[in-house]
Chain A
Amino acid sequence: MTATIAPPQPPGPPPAPPRPSRRDRSARACSNRLHRSEHRTAALFIALPVLGFALFVLYPIGFAVVTSFTAWNGITSPVFTGLDNYVRMIGDQYFWKSLGNTVYMMMAIPVGLLLSLVLALAMNRRMRGTTFFRTIYYIPVISSIAAIAILWQWAYNGDFGLINQALGMVGIDGPNWLQNPATSKLAIMIMAVWKGLGFSMLLYLAALQSVPRQLYEAAAIDGASTLQQFWAITVPMLRPVTFFLVVTNIIGGAQIFVEVNIMTPDGGPEFSTATIVWYIWRQAFEYLNMGYATAISLMLGLLVFVVTALQFA
């Protein structure tokens, strides 16, 4: 839900082009006056969001760019240090490690999308109980991430957690998930898939239900098998929603923080779950390296922007 990328012109009538005046000049003068008053009111109506944009987006961006060239603890006045922060970033193994962890965790995105598509296909059948299951699958989505992270931290407990007990039933001796660098990332990824499944499934389901039935009927008459129909009709028709989900998931995935902050407050064993936002947060608000943290946060912003733009290209 974080980002909605709009086509420049949404479908529907283009937003009111200035009308050619039809009558004589006095009418035109009158309509100009009317327009001007309308302009004033319209400007007033959009004033708050525009002001908010200036105050809480534009100004902070400018501030961030300037700050990224300084050494600053947030209290005394900043000292200009040129590109030092960026040079430091290149040599900072913790930065690279947390960036790598973030990218690694984002590999859960395709898995989650695939699972949710399969579920949506299953729910799209003429079958009783789909509404009920839709609700069930959606509950983790609306639940607070803090509560969910607390719950899963407990569920991943090596000896008494739900996960290992479930694994025990099928004879697997589960690891101590969050204390083991080999499994800590995987643990967070599984939880993320679990939490996000309902959202993608719902969007896929809506998209599936909007595919015109005639397409399948026509294909069936032409002798296309179910599998052929899936590849030739369903997959292309699902492309826009897949695109939307990939973009929003990448934007969200690049910003994983709460899970790490709650489940592995120190960045996990051997720094194995530290994400980029977690590292920014720690540099800024624990170590008070505001300048350095700002430089990293600008890199994150740039990265998200580039990845999103690449999706459009």
Chain B
Amino acid sequence: MSTPAPQSPPRAAVAAAAAPATAAGPKPVPATRRSTGRRAPAGPPLTRRQKIGNWIVGAIVSLGGITMIAPLVWMFSTSLKTREAVFALPPEWIPSPAQWENYLRVWDAGPLLSGIMNSAVVAVSVTVVGGAASAVAAYAFAKMRLPFKGVIFLSLLAAIMIPFPTLMIPQFQMFAFAGLVDTLWPLILPAIFGNIIMVFFLRQYLDSVPDAIIEAAKIDGAGHFQIFWRLIFPIIRPAIAAQFILWFMAVWNDYLAPIIYLNSPEVQTLQLVIARFNATYASQTDYPLIMAASCIALVPVLTVFVIFQRQIIESIALTGSKG
């Protein structure tokens, strides 16, 4: 905790700015303030030995970085080749001419567009409704009086340890009984009741919010709905945003639940569509088409990641210290 934070975490600042009502009280400072990275130039000048060390370590880290990124670059490169150029030896990294029409062809080759739509429907409805359910629950668990609150919370938390494969067959039977197999409902319904991991983190975050401001609001005659909406929600908005993004990406990338429920091409989510692409077009050795579809599947999440990088990385870093 003594680490000087060169850039104070945005959450505290945003929270304070977004909640002028709380400005009178002490600022809600998250329990752990730390920033990962961007600490290079600060501090005393590096010694010669440190500089040489940095060169060696930098070389190793770069080599690792190339290993990390090379497969993805190769994937993109393959997506721009002709079917024959894929088998050229030695391989070419920059295909010439680049076959951009692969990215036009791919939309007609399978239900890619409906896959994107289905994934978006599931991910948005799950995260919006489930996120709201998680947020109010977190507020109740953190700040409200309720008998057996701790026991209830711990049982919910213990449920995380039960692997989904243990629950999937009974859940499948429930949805089969309700006639909902091969629709998007089995992917949406179990999740809109809230996500206990999100409840856990929001509850932790709320620990840093002083009870006094809630008591003050009560004395002013605010009901709990009002307190949540006007006071708590603005404070925990940054934490909600971070959890929201992480959850959205997890739902977007999910594969096991979709594969057991969805058969018809028109209801399949994006991940299933590209897996189907893979199975279908590999036998025709149309690797550029497969890779183009996979690249398209990666783009939304990569975009979200690039935009919200700081928030994502900071909330992940917090995961370890809070867990």
On chain B, which size bracket covers the interface?
35 or more
Taking the closest CB of chain B, its distance from the CB of A201, in whole angstroms, is 10
Residue A50 lies at the interface, judged by CB distance under 8 Å to chain B = yes
Determine whether the beta carbon of B294 is less than 8 Å from that of A150.
yes
Residue B10 lies at the interface, judged by CB distance under 8 Å to chain A = no
Taking the closest CB of chain B, its distance from the CB of A159, in whole angstroms, is 8
Task: Tell me, in angstroms, the Cα distance from A182 to B202 when the chains sit together.
Answer: 46
Residue in B91, B140, B173 whose CB lies within 8 Å of A160? B91
Interface secondary structure of A, over-half rule: helix
CB-CB under 8 A from A290, the residues of chain B are 169, 173
Determine whether the beta carbon of B36 is less than 8 Å from that of A134.
yes
CB-CB under 8 A from B259, the residues of chain A are 261, 281
CB-CB under 8 A from A131, the residues of chain B are 37-38
CB contacts under 8 Å to B, within A10-35, are 10-13, 15-16, 18, 35
Q: A60-B170, A206-B317 are in contact. Are A49 and B224 (CB under 8 A)?
A: no
Nearest CB in chain A to that of B211: its residue: A16
Q: A136-B69, A147-B297, A203-B316 are in contact. Are A15 and B224 (CB under 8 A)?
A: no
Residue A300 lies at the interface, judged by CB distance under 8 Å to chain B = yes
Determine whether the beta carbon of B271 is less than 8 Å from that of A137.
no
Determine whether the beta carbon of B31 is less than 8 Å from that of A42.
no
Determine whether the beta carbon of A129 is less than 8 Å from that of B165.
no
Nearest CB in chain B to that of A163: its residue: B71
Task: Tell me, in angstroms, the Cα distance from A2 to B57 when the chains sit together.
Answer: 32
Determine whether the beta carbon of B274 is less than 8 Å from that of A147.
yes
Residue in A67, A127, A139 whose CB lies within 8 Å of B58? A127
- Interface 1/0 per residue, A275-313 and B, CB below 8 Å: 001001100110000100110011011001100100000
CB-CB under 8 A from B309, the residues of chain A are 135
Taking the closest CB of chain B, its distance from the CB of A240, in whole angstroms, is 8
CB-CB under 8 A from A271, the residues of chain B are none
Determine whether the beta carbon of B39 is less than 8 Å from that of A210.
no
Determine whether the beta carbon of A126 is less than 8 Å from that of B46.
yes
Residue in A15, A60, A138, A140 whose CB lies within 8 Å of B142? A15
Listed in ascending order, the chain B residues whose CB lies under 8 Å from chain A are: 1-3, 31-32, 34-43, 46, 50, 53-54, 57-58, 60-62, 64-65, 67-72, 74-75, 78, 86-87, 89-91, 133-134, 136-137, 139-147, 149-150, 152, 154-157, 159-174, 176, 190, 192-194, 196-197, 199-201, 203-204, 207-208, 211, 223-225, 228, 246, 249-250, 252-253, 255-256, 259-260, 270-272, 274-275, 277-279, 287, 290-291, 294-295, 297-298, 301-302, 305, 309, 312-313, 316-323
Listed in ascending order, the chain A residues whose CB lies under 8 Å from chain B are: 1-6, 8, 10-13, 15-16, 18, 35, 38-39, 41-43, 45-46, 48-53, 55-57, 59-61, 63-64, 67, 74, 119, 122-123, 125-131, 133-140, 142-147, 150-155, 159-160, 162, 165, 194, 197-199, 202-203, 205-207, 209-210, 212-214, 240-241, 244-245, 248, 251, 254-255, 257-258, 261-262, 265, 277, 280-281, 284-285, 290, 293-294, 297-298, 300-301, 304-305, 308
